[in-house]
Copies of this chain bind each other. A is one copy, B any other.
Amino acid sequence: MDNFVFHNPTKIFFGKGQIEHLGKEIINYGKKVLFVTGGGSVKRIGLYDKVIEILKEEKCNVYELSGVEPNPRLSTVKKGIEICKSEGIEVVLAVGGGSVLDASKAIAAGAKYDGDVWDFYTRKATIEDALPLATVLTLAATGSEMNGNSVVTNWETKEKLGTNSIHIYPKFSILDPTYTYSVPRDQTVYGIVDIMAHVFEQYFSHTSNTPLQDQFCESVMRTVIDNSEAVLERPDDYDARSNILLSGTMALNNIIRMGMAGDWATHMIEHEVSAIYDIPHGGGLAIIFPNWMKYVLDEGIEKFKRYAIEVWKVDATGKTDKEIALEGIEKTREFFNRIGAPSRLKDYNIGDENIELMAEKVVKRRTVGQYKKLTKEDVKNILTMSL
């Protein structure tokens, strides 16, 4: 394994009713609260009223920013920063899914920065400080509740970029599986794909000697696969929702990948697709990932063989390594199909009209891929396979 630094200071409250800790925890950071939400789901499930009630009880001054988009937009982030600066906000409270959390991280960092918050995403600047952030999660997917990642879309430049900083880890996050009961079927599916994709990006690594990390990754993947059908069949299955929710957090809080170099090419490709077409991130990942797998397979069949056997229980008898590996990839595609994720870009009415542009943008800012370093041509090939 490689040398590494691990530091994840987020405090997690997991389980039914853990919202009871919100009041006492949040006032550790201040009483002037920016309460950030997305669409109306937090109101529909009664969580909005509950949060307001708790904040009132603690005599907080509550400012609100609602309507954060599924691919959160820079323009919305800037509205939040404006409120923080003009009102002297002391703590940001994000209640919702990954996009609300990611936007809130951008707001928390932007509130302490004199320049344009987009600088953090274009790597013109590094986050040096941020308002404290607390989160209440309502969707198992991005892992944003326990990491320092934030992805924001700049609709003017049609760019979807990420940043990362220790300063934007949530101070605490409340994860109550019952809040995910009412997540619509398609969002549940996209969340599952996103979680699997996060593990893929870390697991498919050339770093040698990572037996514990590999097994941790496989543990998360198997848990997600084993619980997916249950959450789709019985949306209020507490046990299955808990397992998916915990898996989502563990998939992207740096624990399963200590000392491993990740890939992240598929995420970068998908970000450019959804920056142009505004499709669900999980949908895009489901389409592209199995094609990425096929495309990079020859860079290291051993890991794909291991994946097929350990995660998908592929029977290796009488098969070549490549046959075993391909069977694992096929099973990945079958799984995504079975739970209802899309297979092709045309499922979103996307043709080849922007492939050149998207490939260009993928490779524009940084090296892409680690399992296989991808050129613009490679990205075009993967996108073409995905049509």
Q: Which residues of A contact B (CB under 8 A)?
A: 1-18, 21, 172, 208-209, 211-212, 215-216, 218-220, 222-223, 226-227, 239, 242-243, 246-247, 250, 255, 258-259
Cβ of A373 to closest chain B Cβ, rounded Å: 24
Q: Using Cβ atoms and an 8 Å threshold, which residues of chain B touch A223?
A: 211-212, 215
Q: Could you tell me if A6 and B12 are in contact, using CB atoms closer than 8 angstroms?
A: yes
Q: Could you tell me if B15 and A4 are in contact, using CB atoms closer than 8 angstroms?
A: yes
Offer 17 A-B interface pairs, CB within 8 angstroms, sorted by A. A1-B15, A1-B239, A1-B243, A2-B15, A3-B14, A3-B16, A3-B18, A5-B13, A5-B14, A5-B21, A7-B10, A9-B9, A211-B223, A212-B220, A215-B219, A218-B219, A255-B255
Measured CA separation A28–B258 after assembly (Å):
24
Measured CA separation A252–B4 after assembly (Å):
19
Q: Could you tell me if A239 and B209 are in contact, using CB atoms closer than 8 angstroms?
A: yes
Nearest 6 Cβ contacts at the A-B interface: A3-B15, A215-B219, A7-B11, A209-B239, A6-B12, A9-B9
Cβ of A134 to closest chain B Cβ, rounded Å: 13
Cβ of A169 to closest chain B Cβ, rounded Å: 10
Q: Indicate how many identical chains form the complex.
A: 2
Q: Using Cβ atoms and an 8 Å threshold, which residues of chain B touch A12?
A: 4-7
Cβ of A243 to closest chain B Cβ, rounded Å: 6
Q: Using Cβ atoms and an 8 Å threshold, which residues of chain B touch A14?
A: 3-6, 258-259
Q: Could you tell me if A242 and B7 are in contact, using CB atoms closer than 8 angstroms?
A: no
Q: Could you tell me if A222 and B215 are in contact, using CB atoms closer than 8 angstroms?
A: yes
Cβ of A101 to closest chain B Cβ, rounded Å: 18
- The residue of chain B having its C-beta at the shortest distance from the C-beta of A239 within the complex is B209
Q: Using Cβ atoms and an 8 Å threshold, which residues of chain B touch A222?
A: 211, 215
Cβ of A68 to closest chain B Cβ, rounded Å: 26
Cβ of A60 to closest chain B Cβ, rounded Å: 22
Measured CA separation A345–B55 after assembly (Å):
58
Q: Could you tell me if A242 and B1 are in contact, using CB atoms closer than 8 angstroms?
A: yes
Q: Using Cβ atoms and an 8 Å threshold, which residues of chain B touch A255?
A: 255
Measured CA separation A282–B185 after assembly (Å):
50
Q: Using Cβ atoms and an 8 Å threshold, which residues of chain B touch A209?
A: 239, 242-243
Q: Could you tell me if A11 and B1 are in contact, using CB atoms closer than 8 angstroms?
A: no
Q: Could you tell me if A15 and B259 are in contact, using CB atoms closer than 8 angstroms?
A: yes
Q: Using Cβ atoms and an 8 Å threshold, which residues of chain B touch A2?
A: 15
Q: Using Cβ atoms and an 8 Å threshold, which residues of chain B touch A7?
A: 9-12, 172
Cβ of A332 to closest chain B Cβ, rounded Å: 19
Measured CA separation A2–B12 after assembly (Å):
13
Measured CA separation A7–B259 after assembly (Å):
21
Q: Using Cβ atoms and an 8 Å threshold, which residues of chain B touch A243?
A: 1, 209, 211-212
- The residue of chain B having its C-beta at the shortest distance from the C-beta of A173 within the complex is B6
- Given that A8-B8, A14-B258, A259-B14 are known contacts, is A212 also in contact with B3, CB under 8 Å in the complex? no
Measured CA separation A14–B247 after assembly (Å):
24
Q: Using Cβ atoms and an 8 Å threshold, which residues of chain B touch A212?
A: 219-220, 223, 243, 246-247, 250
